[in-house]
Amino acid sequence: MLKSLLETISDIGVMSQRDIRRYFRLPQLLITNVILNVVLLLLFNYVFGGAIQTGGVDYIQYFLPGFLVQSVVFGSTQTSVGISEDLSKGLIDRFRSLPMARAAFLSGRVVADTLRYLILVILMIAVGYAAGFRFQGGFFPAFAGVWLIILFGIALTWVGVFIGISVKDVETAQVAGFVWVFPLVFASSLYVPIETMPSWLQAFANINPVTPMVDTIRALSWGTSISSSLWKILVWDLGIILVCLPLALRRYRLLAQ
């Protein structure tokens, strides 16, 4: 049992190294992603920030915690495309012929994307600091906030994995990857306070997992009380993983037969 577990972990490590090497072999993918996020961050802060009411808080202080969450949410769409692209190249048939754990292909991608999220979040924090953002709660809340964002990204990555392995081509994966992301991002407390939304949209925003995630990171950034938002997001993370991980593995086993 222990030997099998160690072999599975080793296989996952090998597959994650494969994806990580691909990131560095094609640095334009990572660079383009970083540049896009930097442009969006500066655009919202300097162009739209003055027009959005945030209750007396500087917009960069209000927006950046949510933007860090947005970075990993949109990052999960790349997972869908990457998985679908690998499948279209017939990699399942190649990996099936190798003595490796079946979970390694998908799990390795998740591990590699987790590293991508961490790099992106750290870079966005650096840009935010240059624009005037500060972690007012101190180092340890900031450290906890970063890893909560990464955990949320891992959960959503399994959604992206399931979508990528369920569609038939890369083009469909690109569309399907964004369809569910936009409502989560824009119908939440990420850009504006929920109280400014119509009542029917507030109802959705209050049950949207992005809302407690953003509220938690803001509280950790500002040094204020987290209240119940932390427990809500931990429940969401666990629930998403418990649903999407087995669905993705089951779909992969069916394709590998």
| Tens-place pLDDT, residues 183-213 | 999 999 888 888 888 999 999 999 999 999 9
Average pLDDT, stretch 146-159? 96
Give the model's pLDDT for residue 235.
95
**Per-residue DSSP letter, 195:** G
Q: What is this structure's pTM?
A: 0.91
Each residue's pLDDT tens digit, 64-113: 999 999 999 998 888 998 888 888 887 777 777 777 777 788 889 999 99
**30 with 23: CB under 8 angstroms?**
yes
- Please, what is the end-to-end C-alpha distance for the chain in angstroms? 24
**7 with 101: CB under 8 angstroms?**
yes
Which residues contact residue 246 at a Cβ distance below 8 angstroms, ignoring those fewer than 6 apart? none
Give the model's pLDDT for residue 95.
74
Q: Determine the residue type at 149.
A: I
